[in-house]
Every structure is written in C-alpha cells, then in structure tokens.
Structure 1
Amino acid sequence: MTRLFNDPADFADEMIDGFVAANRNQVRRVTGGVVRSTRTPEGTVALVIGGGSGHYPAFGGIVGQGLAHGAAMGNLFASPSAHQVESVAKAAQRGGGVLLSYGNYAGDVLHFTQAQDALNAAGIPTRSVAVTDDISSAPLAEQHKRRGIAGDLTVFKSAAAAAEAGYDLDEVVRVATHANERTRSFGVAFSGCTLPGATEPLFTVPEGRMAVGMGIHGEPGIDETDVPTADELATLLVSSLLAELPEGVSEAAGARVGVILNGLGSVKYEELFVVYRAVAAQLEAAGVEIVDPEVGELVTSFDMAGVSLTLFWLDEELEGFWAAGADTPAYRKGVVAAAEQLDPSELVAETAAEIPESTDVSRAAAAVVVEALDALVQVIDTNVEELGRIDAVAGDGDHGIGMQRGARAAVTAAHAAADAGAGAHTVLHLAGDAWADRAGGTSGALWGLALRSVGTALGDEVAPGRTDVATGVQAAVDGIMSFGKAEVGQKTMVDALVPFTTTLSAAVADGADLVTAWTTAAAAASTAAAETADLLPKMGRARPHAEKSLGTVDAGAHSFGLIVTAIVPVLERAGGTTAPDRSTSTTTNEGVHA
C-alpha cells in the first residue's frame, strides 16, 4: 500500500514538486506539469504527452532530450485538464507545432481534444494521437476503443525521435500513428493498488489467482486464472500477442520487434528477468528477432503487483527511432548531444485572472453561490471514501479523491473571487476553471463545464431568478451531453443530471419558487442515481467490466445526487421566494431569487 503521504488530495502536486526538485537539470515546473529544462531548436515539433499521476516514470519521467518536450500531469489516475495541457504545450512549443499524445481514456480524450482546439485557435498548429495498444480492452474490430498502457512508450519514443530528426508536424503525426498501429500489449496482475489515504486496494485478487487483461489504473481484469509459473506466464503473454499481428506484418518469423516487459509497481526486477528469460526464448523460437528490449518499471500503477508485455513490430524507419538516443530522468538510451539549459524567463508565464465589474445584486448572488460551494465541499468530504469504494467496483477508484480535489479548488477560487468583488458569473467561471484544473479526469471536465454554464446564465449584473438558474442548469446538461457524449441509460452522471434538470425546469415553468423546484428536482436526481445500480456502464473505464458494476450505483450519479441535495438548505436560507425572476437594481442585497 501507499504509506508515505500528507494530505491525499495534495499528493500529486507534492509528488511533482519533489520530482522537479530532484531533476532540475532535465525538467522545469510549469502550470499543469513539466517541460524540458534544456533548449529545443526553434522550429522543432514539440511532443507533449500526459495523463494521470500514479504511473511513474510515465509521464513526467520521460520528459527530456530524445523523448517528450513536456508532460501534462493530472491528479492520481485522472487526466490533466484542458487548461493544464494547453499551458504545458504553450511552454514547450518552439514554433514547429505540437503533437499531443496520450493513452486512450475518456477523460484524456476530452481534455486533450479541448486543449488541441484551444491551441489551434491561438495559432499554434496542434494534432493528437491517442495510444490504443491494450489488446484485452476491446476486440480488433473496435481497436479505436482500446486503452493505452505500456505501449505509450513506443509511440512517444518514435514521435519524439522523428521530431528530433527535423520532421514536420504532419510527418511526426504519421510516425506516431504508424507506431501505434504497430504496437500491441497485454497485462496481468496478482493484486490491486492502494491510493494514498485509502485503507483498502482498489480491487483484490483471491490468493493463488491472477487477474488477466489489466489496465494501468487499477481496473479489474477481464478474466481470472490460477497463478502460473514464470514460464507459463511468458507463454500466456507471448501467445496472446502473437495471435494478433498488426496489419503489414504477415507472419512473426523474420520480423523484428522492440520488446517491453513492464512491471506495474510491486513485481521486482529479479522476477521480471526470470519472466523475460522465457519471453525471449519463446519469441526467438517463433523466429522473431528482438531489438533493444526494455525490462523494468516504465508505466506503473502505484503498488500493483502486475506485469505487461509489449511488442513493437518494427520496420526500418521505426527501428531507427526506437534505437535513437534519449536522456530523461527515468529513461536513457544511447548518446545525446549536450544541450544548453533553458532560461526560465523564456517559459510562458500565467497571469492572474482579472475580476470584471459587477453590481451589488450580483455580488449578493455570488455570496449564495459561495455558500452552496461550501456545502458541496462538506458533503464530498463526508462521502469521499464511499465514493471511491463505489468507483472501484468496476472503475479505477479515484472518483472520491478527484471530486474532493476539484471541489476544494473550486471553493478556494470562489472565495477569492467573491472577496475581490466578483459577481455570480465570474465566481462560477473561476470556480469551474479551478475544479477542472485540479480534479482533471472526466468528472473534472464536466463539473468545470457545469459551473461555467450556470455562471453564464446568472451574469455579473442582475439579480438572477429561478428561470435563470433553470436555464443555466439546462445549458450545463446540454454541454455535458455534447462534450462527454453520454446519454441516459449508460450509467453515468447524466442519469441523475437529466431527471434533475427536467424536473427543475418543469417546476419553474409551473410557477414553483426556486427552493421548492430545486428540492423536488434533487429528490428526482437521488432516485435516478439509486436506479443506476440496475444499469450496465457503456462509457468510460467501467465499460470493459460492465457486469461487475451490477448492483452498485454509478459514482458520478450518486455524488451529483448528494451535492444537489446538500444545496437545498443553502437556498432555503437565501429566501427570496416572492421576488421576481429578474432585477436590474444595483443596490439590493437579495441573493439568488426564486
């Protein structure tokens, strides 16, 4: 288990600070992650990678010459936010464009895609390649749905070497895509991992048994079998991967492959070498020629006891990139030319957000918003362990700590903005940005979007009424469903969000005051959240383990129900049940009107 930590919610930030302090000659801290501390020639394509923390050396550990130019580093097992990705990319880019590359997980796809759009809009040509090497997570016909695990390294390494060789953005994208198509991985685990502060692992494997088909986020395996001998495990790994040759590789005999035998956290190097001895023998017996094998911890999962095997099917171009030199904190190969240290003043600095003017009535509404966010934090803090337990049934168990991290950041930003004289719109927008940045992951993106949508409807000038609140919530739903692509019935937060919104809008249209409408809607959301126990997940990391989640509510829907219920007393204290929907007065001190 993870024993050394302070506040679990601060673990990722403190880890990154310590990592940078230990590797100042290779990496520098920027908002959202790290970038190279060495100078990159102007006009070079910048490779920016990233994902959740908890996988060291991925992702920050492979930033440096010959590999990534920057890494966006999210919360534990949660993708970095779009803002974090954008910030790292702006600091890393040197005029040749940016390639974003990451494992194919819902939150990463959402955030990196959003960052790509923002970077292109800012005039920085940006493309993306998601890694899909895990053969156990989807059939070949649905290869685009597969996860990215230890095969991340082959794609990152190839793209980075192409960039170092002077390839332009289109060509670097071509190389990364080709490397991804030529990479296959398969993993197993003997025990689950334990997040900082948790007393139990995310999942358990019965004594003497092995979970087959592991991801890197603590997801339960696809299958389970007796623990094999080292040679038997090698046979399982090799035979599974040889059974699916990439397009363009007609037969294994005579092929050349890069090999990665990756430890997930607790399997010792000596054990890995015993397994690799049999892996190498079996590949050679199949006529496969091994090129520059890697045996060790490259993409981990805290203290998970597990192993994955990656085969990277080479051609002449890819082999040159696989063998190219690299010098990073955690990965070194060959020789690289010494590079000049980058002056910190050359990195793009973030500026504090400006607080626009607001009216007295909007500032009064902002005070209610802050109180609602205080209540939100309290209910998340109370239920953080239970939310993590629910999420761990078929997911990765990070929902509780992710919600806690996002909510705390949001309320801190909201208090600071309100103290600076911000209106309701600005308070909610800054709170939403802070939530997305600190929580990361899918839920961070969606809650950030939700707060910003409601803030837009409330504005900074008028005293918002019940119709404005309903309009803002509906806008949040529309944005979440469009951005996240989830629909009712797919076992996500949407299953509670849609009934809440429908009920709220209907009650407001029928003339109910905000307290009554919100209370009724919160009850509908809680009921709908409870009913998700009977659904099978069709989105996100829980999808491959759908049957495991039957009988357990969706963590996102459940937390939403808890939050909207906790806000009811705040609205009751705010009062205003007889006020009109809108007021343009600048002197009243009424809060959110009913």
Structure 2
Amino acid sequence: MTRLWNDPADFADEMIDGFVAANTRSVQRVPGGVIRRDAVPEGQVAVVIGGGSGHYPAFGGLVGPGLAHGAAMGNLFASPSAQQIHAVAAAAHAGGGVFFSYGNYAGDVLNFDAAQDRLRREGIDCATVVVTDDVASAPADQASLRRGIAGDLIVFRIAAAAAEAGAPLAEVARVAARANARTRSLGVAFTGCTLPGAAAPLFTVPERRMAVGLGIHGEPGIDETDIPSADALAEQLVARLLAEIPDGASAAGGRVVPVLNGLGSLKYEEMFVVYRRIARALEEAGIDIVDPHVGEYCTSFDMAGVSLTLFWLDDELAALWDTPVDTPAYRRGAITRLTDAARNASGDGRATASAASVDSTPDADDASRRVARTVLRAVQEMSRTIDTHVDELGRMDAVAGDGDHGIGMQRGAHAALRAAAEAVDAGAGAATTLAQAADAWSDRAGGTSGALWGVILAAIAAELGDTGTPDAAAVARGVHGAAEGVVAYGKAEIGDKTMVDALVPFAYALTEGTATRPLADAWIAAAATAGAAASATADLLPRRGRARTHGAHSLGTPDPGAHSLALIVTAVGSVLAAPEEES
C-alpha cells in the first residue's frame, strides 16, 4: 500500500514539485507539468506527452533530450485538464508545431483534444497519435478502442526521435502511428493498488490468483486464473502476443524490442526470472531480439504485476530507435547536454512560464450579483454533497473503472467553490461567477468528469448573464446547452451508461417544467427524473469510457457519473427552493 503522504489531495502537486527538485539537470516546472530544461532548437517539433500521475516514470520521467519535450501531469489516475495541457504545450513549443501522444483513455482524449483545438486557434499546428497497444482491452478488429499501457514508451520514443532528426510535424505523426500499429502489450496483476489516503486497494485479487488484462489505472482484469510458474507466465504472455503479429511483420526473422514492465511492486529479480523464459520463447519462434528492456516504465503505484510489450521493428523504425535518450528515468546511448552557460545564452525564457493572469472582473449590476450569491450557495451545496458521497462514488467507480470518480469530483467541487467565492467577493455577476467555477472545476479535477462538468457549468453560465435576473427559460436553455455540449464533447449517447443517461432526461424535463412552473418546482421535479434515470443505468452495459472494457462487471451498479449528477442536481434544487436569508 502507499504509506507516505501529507494531504492526499495535494499528493500529485507535491510529487511533481519533488520530482523537479530532484531532477533540475533535466526538467523545469511549468503550469500543468514539466518541460525540458535544455533549450530546444528553433523549429523543432515539440513532443508533448501526458496523463494522470501515479505511473512514474510515465510521464514526467520521460522528458529530456531524445524523448519528450514536455509532459502534462494530471492528478492521481486522472487526465490532466485542458488548461494544464495547453500550458505545457505552449511552454514547450519551439516553432515547429506540437505533437501530442498519450494513452487512449476517455478523459485524456477529451482534454488533449480541447487543448489541441485551442492551440490551433492560436495559430500553432498540432497533431496527435493515441497509444492503443493493450490487446486485452478490445479485439483486433476494434484496435482503435484499445487502451494505451507500457507501449506508451515505444510510441513516445519513436515520435521524439523523428523530431530530434528535424522531421516536420506530419512526418513525426506518421512514424508514431506506424510505431503504434506495430506495438502489442498484455499485462497481469497479483494485487490491486492503493491510492494515497485510501483505506483499501482499488480492486483485489484473491490469494494465489492472477488478474489478466488489467489496466494501468487499477481497472480489474478481463480474466482471472491461478498464478502460474514464472516460466508458464512467460509462455502465456508470449503466446498471446504472437497470436496477433502486426501486418507486415512475421515471427521468422522478425526483429522485436521486448519490454517487460513492472507495475510497481514486483521485484526486478522476479522479472528477470520471467524474462529469461520470454527471451527463450521469442528465440524459439525465430525472432531476433533487439535492445530488451526489463524494468519499470509505466507503473500503477504499488500494484504487483507485470506487462509484456513487443515492438516489431522495420528498417525505418530501427534507425529511429537508435536515437540517444537522456531523461530522469530513461537513458539510452550518449547525449551532449548544454552547459548552464550555454542554456542561459540561448535566451530560453520558458523557465519563467507562469499561469495566465486573471482578467479583471467584468462589470455586473446589483441584480446579477444577488443571483451570483445564489450560484455560490448552489456550488457550496454541490461541494457538501460530493463530500458526503465521495466514498460511495469511489466504490461504484471501482466496480468496473479505476475507483477515482469520488476523489476527482471532490477536487473539482472544492476548486469550483473557491473560485466562485473569490468571484463573489470581487463583485462578479452570475455568469462570471459560474464561469470561473467551471474553469476551476475542469482544471483541478482533470479526467473525463472534470472536463464534462466544466462543459456543463460553462453552458449554464453563458445563459445567466452579468446583468439582470435570468428567467426560468434561460436557466433551462443553459441546462439544455449543457446536455448538447456533453453529448458533442464526450461522444456518448443515451444507453451508453454514462452521465448522459441522467443529464439528457434532466434537461428535457426541466425545459418542459419551466414552461408552466416556477424554476424551483420545475428543477426539483426534473432532478427526480434524473435520479430515476441514473438508477436505471444499473441495468445497462457500458459502451463508453474505461468501464466498457469490463462489460458485465458493472451490471447491477449505476453509472457513477450519472449518479453523481443526480445527487448534484437534487442538492441544487434544495438551494433554489430556499430563500437566501434561510441559508
């Protein structure tokens, strides 16, 4: 289990600060993560990677010459926010465009895409390749749905090698996609992992049993078997990966980089025993082993487990693979680094990058300021509600996900409350107060839920205005816009077992209700509709997000995103029904 922390909510930030302090030779802190300390040649493509914290050396440990130019580092097992990703990419950009790569998880896709769209609007060219190496997470004919696990290292390294060679953005993306298509991984685990401050692991495996096909965020395995011998495990991993050799490759005479990756608690000595048989099995298949890796490259806190990745080389990829690398956690070959004097002479001022300054508070009238106080009360009640149910939401999410929904929602709600209180104190109107809460929620929470709650609150804020008192129809339009935004942004539909299953019925019920009833009455009735819809998701099979991989595991349990939405809109209804002086 994880034993050392201060406040679990601060763990990721404190970890990043300590990582930077220990690696000043290689990296520097910027808002949202880290970038290379060495100056980057003007015009070079910036390779920006990222994901949730808890996977060291991924992602910050892979920043340095020959590998990534920057890493956006989110909260524990939660994707970085769009704001964090944008800040890291803007700091890393050297004039040649930005190439993004990360594991194929819903929250990462949402937030990286949003950051990419913003950079493009600012005139910075971008391209993306998501990593999809995990063969257990989807069949071969649905490879685009697969997760990214330890194959991240392969794709990141090939993309960065092309960038170091001066390749343009399109060429970097092409070779990265080729590397991804020729990479396959499979993992197993013997225990779950425990997040800082948590009383229990995210999932458990019965004694003397092994979960097969797990995810790096603690998602349960696809199957469960007795723990085999080290040789039998090696043979099982190799056989499964050789059953799916990439197009254009073959076992006989093929060149493969094998990566045996420890997930956090497995001893190196144990991995060497396993790798001994892996090497023999690959050689027996006629495969030429190139640059074998045995170690920790993408972990999952204290999870006891291991994954095997096979990267099938061709001449082009082999040449790129030989590029030297020098990062805090991963080194290959020899690189000549800049001296401090040369670095200072380069004029590289990115070390002083800081968060964007906060604009002055827009003007508002007294009526809107009164509404802003109601907004603040609503956000307070949302935060209290999440605090009350945080453990319940975590347990629900752990059934078929990674168990962090409650923690993520709590981080987002607390940040939103601080931002809303500051806005009200500054004399902001209703729209500005809720918009700043939306930004804070999405930035601090990260992950899928953080991004989507940012969309929800921002859409409602857009209808409130900073003058006058919005009528019930305006609020309903805001909620309807929120539902449309979540559907468009998250690509989910009714029946996918997501937040959408509660949000869309709530939006329609509120629109109908406000046509004939006061806002408070219509909202409370619509919240009841959302609650019923959320409960009904217990009977659905997930078709989106991490839970999709585990299918029937979630039957009988409501979707945690739908459930938390129903809890929140019910709480907000109690605020709307109570005059301010009674609060």
TM-score, with length taken from structure 1: 0.95
SS in 2 for 1:188: strand
Match of 1:478 in 2: 484
Write the distance in 2 (CA, Å) between the matches of 1:574 and 1:442. Answer: 34
Written as runs of structure 1 = structure 2, the 5 A alignment for 1:279-290 is 279-290=278-289
Query: Does the alignment pair 1:186 with 2:186?
Result: yes
- Shift in Å, 1:575: 6.7
Write the distance in 2 (CA, Å) between the matches of 1:471 and 1:353. Answer: 28
Match of 1:11 in 2: 11
Match of 2:297 in 1: 298
Which of 466, 489, 493 in structure 1 is aligned with 2:472?
466
- Shift in Å, 1:340: 4.5
Match of 1:586 in 2: none
Written as runs of structure 1 = structure 2, the 5 A alignment for 1:41-80 is 41-80=41-80
Match of 1:115 in 2: 115
- Shift in Å, 1:67: 0.5
Say which is worse superposed, 300-309 or 559-568, in terms of deviation: 559-568
Write the distance in 1 (CA, Å) between the matches of 2:169 and 2:339. Answer: 24
- Shift in Å, 1:416: 1.1
Write the distance in 2 (CA, Å) between the matches of 1:8 and 1:548. Answer: 28
SS in 2 for 1:184: strand
Identity, in percent, stands at 63
1:451-481 Cα offsets, whole Å, 9 max, x none, are 1100000011121121111111110001001
1:36-76 Cα offsets, whole Å, 9 max, x none, are 11111111000000011111110011011111000011111
1:169-204 Cα offsets, whole Å, 9 max, x none, are 111111101110111101111111111111111111
Match of 1:388 in 2: 394
- Letter of the aligned partner of 1:333 in structure 2? R
Which of 346, 352, 366 in structure 1 is aligned with 2:350?
346
The answer on whether the counterparts of 2:521 and 2:577 sit within 8 Å (CA) in structure 1 is: no
1:72-92 Cα offsets, whole Å, 9 max, x none, are 111111111111111100000
Match of 2:365 in 1: 359
Write the distance in 2 (CA, Å) between the matches of 1:480 and 1:574. Answer: 31
Write the distance in 2 (CA, Å) between the matches of 1:340 and 1:425. Answer: 50
* Structure 1 stretches of at least 4 aligned residues deviating more than 3 Å after TM superposition: 340-349
Query: Does the alignment pair 1:445 with 2:451?
Result: yes
SS in 1 for 2:190: strand
Match of 1:541 in 2: 546
Query: Where does structure 2 lack aligned partners over 5 or more consecutive residues?
Result: none
- Letter of the aligned partner of 2:433 in structure 1? V
- Letter of the aligned partner of 1:275 in structure 2? V
Say which is worse superposed, 128-137 or 415-424, in terms of deviation: 415-424
- Letter of the aligned partner of 2:357 in structure 1? A
The root-mean-square deviation of aligned C-alpha atoms, in Å, is 1.4
Residue 397 and residue 210 in structure 1: after superposition, are their counterparts in 2 closer, same or farther (change >3 A)? same
The answer on whether the counterparts of 2:101 and 2:156 sit within 8 Å (CA) in structure 1 is: yes
Query: Does the alignment pair 1:530 with 2:535?
Result: yes
1:378-400 Cα offsets, whole Å, 9 max, x none, are 11111111111100000010101
Written as runs of structure 1 = structure 2, the 5 A alignment for 1:117-266 is 117-249=117-249, 251-266=250-265
- Letter of the aligned partner of 2:560 in structure 1? A
Match of 1:276 in 2: 275
Write the distance in 2 (CA, Å) between the matches of 1:31 and 1:520. Answer: 42
SS in 1 for 2:349: helix
Match of 1:311 in 2: 310
SS in 1 for 2:135: coil
- Shift in Å, 1:574: 3.3
Write the distance in 2 (CA, Å) between the matches of 1:484 and 1:16. Answer: 29
Match of 1:550 in 2: 555
Say which is worse superposed, 310-319 or 387-396, in terms of deviation: 310-319
Write the distance in 2 (CA, Å) between the matches of 1:4 and 1:385. Answer: 21
- Shift in Å, 1:150: 0.1
- Shift in Å, 1:489: 1.3
Which of 559, 562, 565 in structure 1 is aligned with 2:567?
562
Write the distance in 2 (CA, Å) between the matches of 1:184 and 1:468. Answer: 50
- Shift in Å, 1:564: 1.1
Write the distance in 1 (CA, Å) between the matches of 2:406 and 2:9. Answer: 10
Match of 1:587 in 2: none
- Shift in Å, 1:160: 0.5
Write the distance in 2 (CA, Å) between the matches of 1:461 and 1:290. Answer: 68
The answer on whether the counterparts of 1:83 and 1:437 sit within 8 Å (CA) in structure 2 is: yes
- Shift in Å, 1:267: 0.6
1:194-237 Cα offsets, whole Å, 9 max, x none, are 11111111111111111111111111111111100000000001
The answer on whether the counterparts of 1:368 and 1:574 sit within 8 Å (CA) in structure 2 is: no
Write the distance in 2 (CA, Å) between the matches of 1:339 and 1:119. Answer: 29
Written as runs of structure 1 = structure 2, the 5 A alignment for 1:498-517 is 498-510=504-516, 512-517=517-522
SS in 2 for 1:542: helix
1:421-444 Cα offsets, whole Å, 9 max, x none, are 111111111111111111111101
The answer on whether the counterparts of 2:374 and 2:580 sit within 8 Å (CA) in structure 1 is: no
Residue 575 and residue 468 in structure 1: after superposition, are their counterparts in 2 closer, same or farther (change >3 A)? farther
The answer on whether the counterparts of 1:9 and 1:404 sit within 8 Å (CA) in structure 2 is: no
Query: Does the alignment pair 1:88 with 2:93?
Result: no
Query: Does the alignment pair 1:432 with 2:431?
Result: no
Match of 1:34 in 2: 34
The answer on whether the counterparts of 2:52 and 2:78 sit within 8 Å (CA) in structure 1 is: yes
- Letter of the aligned partner of 2:473 in structure 1? T
Write the distance in 2 (CA, Å) between the matches of 1:312 and 1:494. Answer: 38
Which of 392, 404, 407 in structure 1 is aligned with 2:410?
404
1:96-119 Cα offsets, whole Å, 9 max, x none, are 111000011111111111111111
Query: Does the alignment pair 1:574 with 2:579?
Result: yes
